[in-house]
């Protein structure tokens, strides 16, 4: 009998589209059905309005890679990691809702639509963000999980607790919130505080907290939920640290070179508000070179644990993206 060759792997765009479909369904189930209608509407407007879904896609892509390395079924690994994927996207969306407020970045466009505070007012936008942050930890803590079908095995209690700790650290004052505070001060937005122009180390520290911490959490939570050992989790963390910095550098470049139509948000906002960015310090060409170096280190981190899957492609894609 002639052996039948396995079907070719889908291209990266198709693969990420497949992951996004799983995530969108999970996020719809993550929104509590018994919330008061007005806040439910605002929460759903914020979290169910598309976007790249990079962070939750990364969570599921890591689960796939860990399953492949263990010769396990991808579908089982994805279900175990889906609560982590939904939780990290809920936290990310809360941060966007709050960042867009007049007291922060004062933006009126997000993911190609009016921002939450433009549609619902500042007060309800704050509450929607608060609700998303709080519900994210509910999604992680519960078993069985509301985001997966009935009868699907969830991650164990120890794994869920470890994931909660990782996400809390990434989202809190040593992570994303701390990075945003540094960003506000550097842009002259903190009362009675004048910060010096940051050098490369200070800029990298800010981005590692503001953007990188949540990307690292998204990746490591995918490994934790699928039972990876500490060696694999460490390799994933190192990979995601470099991916997060590369992603932010390219974000800075796109703010200079991109358009609002492509980005789904206001272009040129960083320069207009005096924010410290890689292009402002180094220029676009050097910034792109720094991002390429980050991606090379991300690939090397994966090689230390012989991890395959689509993670290396995702890192390379981060350099060429236009949104």
Mean pLDDT for 276-301 is: 95
Mean pLDDT over the full length of the chain: 91
Q: How confident is the model at residue 268 (pLDDT cuts 50, 70, 90)?
A: low
The 10 Å CB-count burial string (b at 16+, else e) for 154-183 is: bbeeebbebbbebbbebbeeebbbbbbbbb
For residue 269, the model assigns a pLDDT of 63
Q: Which residues on neighbouring strands pair with residue 109, listed in sequence order?
A: 114
For residue 54, the model assigns a pLDDT of 96
**Rounded Cα–Cα distance for residues 62 and 321 (Å):** 20
Q: At what angle do helices 74-99 and 213-225 cross, to 10 degrees?
A: 160
> Which of the 8 DSSP states describes residue 197?
P
Q: Is the pLDDT of residue 5 over 60?
A: no
For residue 4, the model assigns a pLDDT of 47
For residue 118, the model assigns a pLDDT of 97
CB 23 within 8 A of CB 57: yes
CB 12 within 8 A of CB 310: yes
CATH architecture of 12-228: Orthogonal Bundle (1.10)
For residue 270, the model assigns a pLDDT of 61
CA 146 → CA 31, 47, 143, 221, 311, distances in Å? 9, 16, 8, 18, 27
pTM of the shown model: 0.91
The per-residue pLDDT for range 142-201, each reduced to its tens digit, is: 988 999 988 888 889 999 999 999 999 999 999 999 999 998 888 888 887 777 767 889
**Rounded Cα–Cα distance for residues 39 and 19 (Å):** 27
The per-residue pLDDT for range 108-151, each reduced to its tens digit, is: 999 889 999 999 999 999 999 999 999 999 999 998 899 998 88
CB 213 within 8 A of CB 175: yes
What six digits make up the tokens of 207?
């981005």
For residue 1, the model assigns a pLDDT of 42
Q: How confident is the model at residue 275 (pLDDT cuts 50, 70, 90)?
A: confident
**Rounded Cα–Cα distance for residues 22 and 36 (Å):** 26
Dihedral pair phi/psi, residue 195, rounded to 5°: -100, 145
Mean pLDDT for 79-106 is: 96
Residue that the structure tokens 């040129």 belong to: 268
Q: Report residue 286 CA to chain centroid gap.
A: 25
Q: Is the pLDDT of residue 272 over 90?
A: no
Three-state secondary structure of 60-93: HHHHHHHHHHCCCCHHHHHHHHHHHHHHHHHHHH
**Rounded Cα–Cα distance for residues 155 and 221 (Å):** 11
Domain ranges of the chain: 12-228
For residue 190, the model assigns a pLDDT of 87
For residue 220, the model assigns a pLDDT of 98
Q: Of all residues in the chain, what percent are helix, strand and coil, respectively (each to 5)?
A: 70, 0, 30
Q: How confident is the model at residue 3 (pLDDT cuts 50, 70, 90)?
A: very low
What six digits make up the tokens of 300?
């090397």
pLDDT, greater one: 270 or 309 = 309
């Amino acid at each position: 009998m002639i052996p039948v060759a396995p079907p070719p792997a889908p291209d990266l765009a198709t693969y990420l589209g497949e992951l996004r479909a799983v995530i969108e369904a999970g996020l719809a189930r993550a929104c509590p059905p018994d919330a008061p209608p007005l806040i439910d509407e605002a929460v759903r407007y914020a979290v169910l309005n598309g976007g790249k879904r990079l962070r939750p896609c990364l969570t599921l892509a890591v689960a796939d890679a860990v399953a492949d390395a263990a010769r396990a079924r991808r579908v089982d690994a994805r279900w175990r990691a889906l609560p982590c994927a939904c939780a990290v996207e809920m936290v990310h969306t809360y941060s966007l809702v709050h960042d867009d407020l007049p007291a922060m970045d004062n933006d009126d466009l997000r993911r190609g639509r009016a921002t939450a505070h433009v549609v619902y007012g500042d007060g309800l936008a704050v509450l929607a963000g608060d609700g998303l942050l709080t519900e994210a930890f509910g999604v992680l803590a519960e078993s069985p999980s509301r985001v997966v079908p009935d009868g699907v095995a969830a991650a164990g209690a120890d794994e869920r607790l470890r994931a909660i700790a990782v996400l809390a650290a990434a989202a809190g004052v040593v992570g994303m919130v701390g990075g945003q505070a540094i960003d506000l001060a550097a842009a002259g937005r903190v009362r009675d505080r004048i910060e010096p122009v940051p050098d490369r180390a200070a800029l990298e520290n800010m981005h590692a907290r503001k953007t990188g911490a949540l990307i690292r959490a998204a990746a490591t939570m995918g490994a934790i939920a699928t039972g990876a050992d500490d060696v694999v989790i460490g390799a994933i963390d190192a990979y995601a640290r470099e991916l997060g910095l590369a992603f932010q550098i390219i974000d800075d470049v796109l703010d200079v070179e991109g358009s609002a139509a492509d980005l789904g948000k206001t272009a040129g906002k960083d320069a207009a508000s005096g924010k410290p960015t890689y292009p402002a310090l180094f220029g676009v060409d050097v910034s792109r070179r720094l991002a390429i170096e980050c991606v090379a280190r991300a690939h090397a981190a994966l090689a230390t644990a012989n991890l395959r899957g689509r993670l290396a492609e995702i890192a390379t894609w981060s350099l060429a993206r236009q949104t």
